[in-house]
């Protein structure tokens, strides 16, 4: 049930990899894919989601690549996962769509909230 998707995993590893490079260094997807032993084309997809969501910045054209769009201490694990997976919306996880007095949903929501708090608290700078 609570499994991290490949996309999420690759995104985290990719961002950590970029963060481990010097400040404004531009990194190619191929380089990352090779170093992390991850399928290149798939990683491209994942990175474009990170780009669209403002986590990383892409430079197109020859000599292009990616760099972080803000310092690692300002990017949380949560930011990356939501960028890749869409909002970790616990309203989707409704238990009793039928009854609005369902008491299970608050439990589920609370558990999600606790989890996300942890993911928000930890920044990429902490895990490089």
Partner DNA sequence: TATAATAGGACAAAAGAGGTCATGTTAGTC
Partner DNA sequence: GACTAACATGACCTCTTTTGTCCTATTATA
Contacts to a copy of itself by CB under 8 A: 1-5, 8-9, 12-13, 16, 37, 77, 81, 85, 88, 90, 92-93, 95-96, 98, 103-104, 107-108, 110-112, 114-119, 122, 126-128
60 binds DNA (CB under 7 A): yes
CB 76 within 8 A of CB 16: no
DSSP secondary structure code for residue 38 in this structure: -
Phi-psi region of 37 (alpha: psi -120 to 50; beta: other; left: phi over 0): left
| Segment holding 16, helix H or strand E | helix 6-19
**Which residue's CB is nearer to a copy of itself, number 26 or number 88?**
88
Give residue for tokens 């300002």: 74
What mask, x for binding DNA by CB under 7 A, covers residues 12 to 41?
A: ----------------xxx--------xxx
Q: How many residues bind DNA (CB under 7 A)?
A: 27
**Which residue's CB is nearer to DNA, number 18 or number 123?**
18
Q: Is the dihedral of CA 67, 35, 12, 42 positive or negative?
A: positive
């Amino acid at each position: 049930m609570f499994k991290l998707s490949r996309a999420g995993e690759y995104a985290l590893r990719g961002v950590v990899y970029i963060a481990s490079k010097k400040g404004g260094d531009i990194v190619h997807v191929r380089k990352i894919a090779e170093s992390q032993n991850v399928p290149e084309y798939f990683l491209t997809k994942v990175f474009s989601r990170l780009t669209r969501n403002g986590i990383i910045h892409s430079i197109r054209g020859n000599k292009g690549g990616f760099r972080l769009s803000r310092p690692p201490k300002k990017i949380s694990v949560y930011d990356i996962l939501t960028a890749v997976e869409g909002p970790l919306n616990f309203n989707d996880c409704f238990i009793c769509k039928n009854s609005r007095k369902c008491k299970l949903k608050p439990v589920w929501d609370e558990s999600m909230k606790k989890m996300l708090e942890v993911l928000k608290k930890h920044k990429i700078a902490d895990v490089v």
